[in-house]
Structure 1
């Protein structure tokens, strides 16, 4: 990857960001249901979404791909957070005025040209993430710019749209969603593609995120903002990477895609001499199910027991090409394997990696004889049910043909490690058609004036104000502004008994450190944090209790602050505390005599091991200091 890092400009890397930000309207976009998340779903129903043509009579390629999976979609709903609109059993209500006002404010802040009249469109989506088979979206404005440290990054468009349902599970034949999130208002901001390093792109995303947060009208928290990244290298198609949620992940995704795409161009150069058009189903697909009945491969035997067919695809002239690796992890064989997984097929074997996986050298020789292969020819082996395997073989053949052209335009998903995997083909112009249930949306002069009047001050001015108001250092002020807890921080600090520096440190460092240990921050709700600081200000718990409470909640041991108090917190009165510390001191008299006051650190650690979270550290230290001094003076 290092040589790609040095040659980003040389390979012509371009990156365009699309930011999807939930709006804090407390209502959904086309109904009045509140924005609530729950784990209780008393309502369940299933749908099977079918492919439909656009108004021009064409099928969208992304929709065709999803349709080929033939999945049943199961929906889980709670009437507290969804209604007949989300079930697609009732037409949409009027557009939420608060969401519209926020979109106009954001457009104004980005100097974008707002349309006086907008039209809600239907964007075909049949992966199940919307019960209707489409997402409603409207173009609010075009043009404008984002100021990033004195450099202007062009804005292409700003849209107001509804969020998708939340994916709960994706099995072989059934995909499952929850409807809490479906219909929550989103603003989508598409920035023009720019050249630059991943660190520079990260700076652009950070700046845009800060501009949105300073409006105080957008949602905060995990999943409330998502970045889609359009990445391309010179001469290649545009690859859209979906689902980038963290800025650190953004850098890794861009770097991985630069490496992958440049690697695919190197593969294409090596394929230039191969007659790809000869690779087709006609005469090149062989059923090897009978052949593999005696195979020692556990993977093959498992597939046969499950009723799968084992087929081989002959690929003339491709010997060595499936395993060729211009960069570590970048292989044509890997690209093909990702294609078939979306048909419920585990993967493929190719001739460059065999013998392996229990398939022996003798088996490979027999396969080569059966397929009548020359030394320059290769093959692929795939296992699957008859209704899926033909779709998968078609996808493999099309992907091999695309490989000769370098980087195909497609949609990929970001992984937690910063790599990407194939998701579906890129959608085309056939994806959109007008929404017939909603009249044109008119933007009045009064609404434009309101947007301009409520355009917020810059984010750096806001950070400076935070720093001054709460007497924070510059780093802590920036951290609390960038965190998901700014509003919560200000709410907690309204109680003057809570020290702003301590509150900010807990929200930005303590919780983050617990996350880094693998604990689940989504289990820790804002109301639980607020309650814990309320109890701290009332001296019902010690400062040291906060980290313990959050650790227990984030690890699933408890669900509430009160549960921690009932289960783990037992009051230690003054006499018990004196007795406990006195015992520690008496057992370590020799250490005190030899070390003097330096022994206090060791004894403090002993005391805190048992008393942490039950008594404040200051109180323990005060008593311990007195008792140590008594020993020294005697």
Structure 2
């Protein structure tokens, strides 16, 4: 059974929500610059407490209720690049027209139909990432498609919205956010659930990413694009996994979520066969642990309000330790739900005695709760309000597992491809109109007048032909953030120059990333460094073999010029006479080797010459000279 057939048999439904920051001059609802500042030294700091409120429909969103359980203080850092709009001390301005136009270009690329009027809405968000307690978002277009090798994927929604503040730290009971990112314009693109496999999800994200980058008006770099993945299988439910930043992780995310849902369904079946039940009572077992050696419990009980609470899960013994994703067990899933109340974690009898909790303490607790060896007990130690709320969440989640197997939820993507519980899926109650921002009319005349840029996929084909690049190199440079630099460089040299398009591409897309992978800081490499570097190669001042050495030096000394680097490294080219003299002497020394290998000696001996002159000579010149001298020697023999 092929991968697609396997996931089809499971009834996989998958869709993507892609969030891409736009590279406009200013933010979405104010005139502050659209930039992330290098330093986090704030000119102003303030704090907020956020609370859920009743919507215009008379409802409170369940996700907002769960987020508010932590009752955390949110601290915000402001700068001279932020203003009263970010501080929620002044109403927002009208929608940024530049950001709106970029968004409509994206709508055209996705073959979407725009809304006649753009109305801004408020979306309740109580995790502190918005000073207002909500995010401003506006529906722009619908009814589009993106083409893939497995068929068209529908694009249901294109929204223009403001980016959230960036979390930069935590202080005991508070979370610290930086406001430089808050308000940056971004588009949210939501696909239909037409994705049929993990590899198809990755391809769809790649194709949408290509269209976005084709505009030339989106930000690049870590954190500027995020993918949320919606996944369900036939017997499971829809789950939204948020914050997938690495494209290569999308396949693993889908695979692991399918695995999690299948394993939870198996756990549900096993529990039903055991006739398992959840006792809906929270037991105070603090007295049992009054003399415990457990450091976690002792620390909790030092607090005057510290308590140890427990719950009894009838027939759950052995199940809590079952793996649902690689390295994550059912107990980890239970713990995630408990942590929404602010506790650090919990203990369960599938892993005890351990962590300073003794068998005697377990025996006493089992007796008090009237639990036998087939039952599982879960305990938590913390401030009594947090601990009680955590146990309430444990009861709720384990009951839902018994009833449904898998529950709808919003989850956080983890670096290894797994995910952890964040909160329930939000409902319609989280949305209500933004009354401070007037609607924007989008006429079809205006929409039709917007020019569509050349797609990067088409540009790669053109560049391959125009600059005599192979298909792979053309894709590398066209999709690279250094495309403008490539265009600048390639215009400086004619077709007969030592500087070829292939050399420039390999430098920008292979050598520089390799230096970065080695841990060198390449941010100091500026366009003028590369212009000077290739000018020196074109003039014959240095050889192309010097590129790696020069760039490596400049990474460590960015204040230097390329000429300084070449001079300090003694890489200024040597004369042809000096090269010939060295090669003649080498041929004389290696006569036995040359007699044995013939012209096959060129390669090994070339390595010796290149090592001697270390980036000072052109490899092709060395190869030609060496081959000529060896051929002359062999003909004399």
Fold agreement, TM-score > 0.5: yes
How far residue 6 of structure 1 moved from its aligned partner, in angstroms, is 7.1
The answer on 1:113 being equivalent to 2:110 is no
- Higher mean C-alpha displacement, 622-631 vs 427-436: 622-631
**1:414 CA drift (Å):** 1.3
Bigger CA drift: 26-35 or 306-315?
306-315
Aligned to 2:368: 370
Q: For 2:208 and 2:331, how far apart are their aligned partners in 1?
A: 38
Pairwise CA distance, 1:362: 3.7
Q: 1:619 to 1:147 in 2, by over 3 A?
A: closer
Residue in 2 that maps onto 1:384: 382
Shift, 1:563, TM fit = 10
Asked if the contact 2:52–2:65 (Cα under 8 Å) also holds between the matched residues in 1, the reply is no
Alpha-carbon separation, structure 2, partners of 1:331 and 1:130: 33
Q: Conserved in 1, the CA contact under 8 Å of 2:610 and 2:617? A: no
Which residue is 2:213 aligned to? 213
Q: Which structure would you say has the larger Rg?
A: 2
Q: Structure 1 residues 332 and 150, CA, compared in 2 at 3 Å: closer, same or farther?
A: closer
Secondary structure of the corresponding residue to residue 229 of structure 1 = strand
1:61–1:427 CA contact under 8 A, matched in 2:
yes
SS in 2 for 1:408: coil
Residues 558 and 178 (structure 1), Cα distance of their counterparts in 2 relative to 1, 3 Å cut = farther
Q: Which residue of 1 aligns with 2:79?
A: 78
Matched residue, 1:22: 21
Specify the SS of the correspondent of 1:448.
helix
How far 1:371 sits from its partner (Å)? 2.7
Q: Spell out the pairing of 1:97-112 with structure 2 (5 A cutoff).
A: 97-112=97-112
Q: CA deviation at 1:508?
A: 2.7
TM-aligned CA deviation for residue 603 of structure 1: 6.9
Q: Is the 8 A contact 1:593 1:632 kept in 2?
A: no
1:466 to 452, 463, 481: 463
1:138–1:160 CA contact under 8 A, matched in 2: yes
Counterpart of 2:185? 185
Distance 2:110 2:416 in 1: 32
Superimposed CA distance per residue, residues 609-628 of structure 1 (whole angstroms, 9 cap, x where no aligned partner): 7975x645549948995998
CA drift of 1:536 comes to: 0.6
Q: Which moved more, 1:112-121 or 1:46-55?
A: 46-55
Match of 2:344 among 343, 346, 349: 346
Question: 1:481 aligned to 2:483?
Answer: no
Shift of 1:325: 3.5
Corresponding residue pairs, total: 620
User: Does the CA contact (< 8 Å) of 1:349 and 1:381 recur in 2?
Assistant: yes
Aligned with 1:538: secondary structure? helix
Q: Distance in 2 between matches of 1:236 and 1:119?
A: 35
- In 1, Cα distance between equivalents of 2:570 and 2:463: 37
Q: 1:429 and 2:433 equivalent?
A: no
Residues in 2 aligned to 1:114 and 1:150: alpha-carbon distance in whole angstroms? 26
Change in 2 beyond 3 A, CA 1:575/1:148? closer
Q: CA deviation at 1:14?
A: 0.9
The farther-off stretch of 379-388 and 597-606 is 597-606
SS of residue paired to 2:74: strand
Other structure's SS at 1:449 match: helix
Is the 1:75–1:176 contact (alpha carbons within 8 Å) kept by the matching residues of 2?
Answer: yes
Given that 1:266 and 1:326 are in contact with CA atoms closer than 8 Å, whether structure 2 keeps it comes out as no
Preserved CA contact (<8 Å) 2:121 2:433: yes
Instruction: Indicate the residue corresponding to 2:415 in structure 1.
Output: 416
Range that drifts further, 543-552 or 226-235: 543-552
1-structure distance, mates of 2:218, 2:346: 44
Is 2:609–2:622's contact at 8 Å kept on the other side of the alignment?
A: no
Q: Distance in 2 between matches of 1:442 and 1:471?
A: 46
Describe the SS at the equivalent of 1:17.
strand
Corresponding residue number in structure 2 for 1:444: 443
- Conservation of the 8 A alpha-carbon contact between 1:276 and 1:400: no
* Cα deviation digits, residues 362-396 of structure 1 (max 9, x gap): 44333322332123221012232334222222222
Alpha carbons 2:64, 2:124 under 8 Å: kept: yes
Q: Distance in 1 between matches of 2:303 and 2:565?
A: 52
In structure 2, what is the Cα distance between the partners aligned to 1:77 and 1:217? Answer: 26
Quote the RMSD (CA, aligned, Å). 3.7
Distance 2:368 2:583 in 1: 81
Distance 2:175 2:633 in 1: 71
Q: 1:345 to 1:3 in 2, by over 3 A?
A: farther
| Alpha-carbon distance in 2 for matches of 1:250, 1:541 | 44
Query: Is 2:573–2:616's contact at 8 Å kept on the other side of the alignment?
Result: no
* Residues 53-64 of structure 1 aligned to structure 2 (within 5 Å): 53=53, 54-64=55-65
Flag the 1:545–1:572 CA change in 2: closer, same or farther, 3 A: closer
The corresponding residue for 1:46 is 46
Find out whether 1:491 has 2:488 as its counterpart: yes
Shift of 1:250: 0.5
Once the two structures are TM-superposed, the CA of residue 507 in structure 1 deviates from its matched residue by: 2.9
How big is the shift at 1:232? 0.8
For 1:513 and 1:572, how far apart are their aligned partners in 2?
21
How many Å separate the matches in 1 of 2:369 and 2:584? 84
TM-score by length of 2: 0.85
Separation in 2 of the partners of 1:617 and 1:461? 35
My pick for the range that moved more, 565-574 or 408-417, is 565-574
Aligned to 1:321: 319
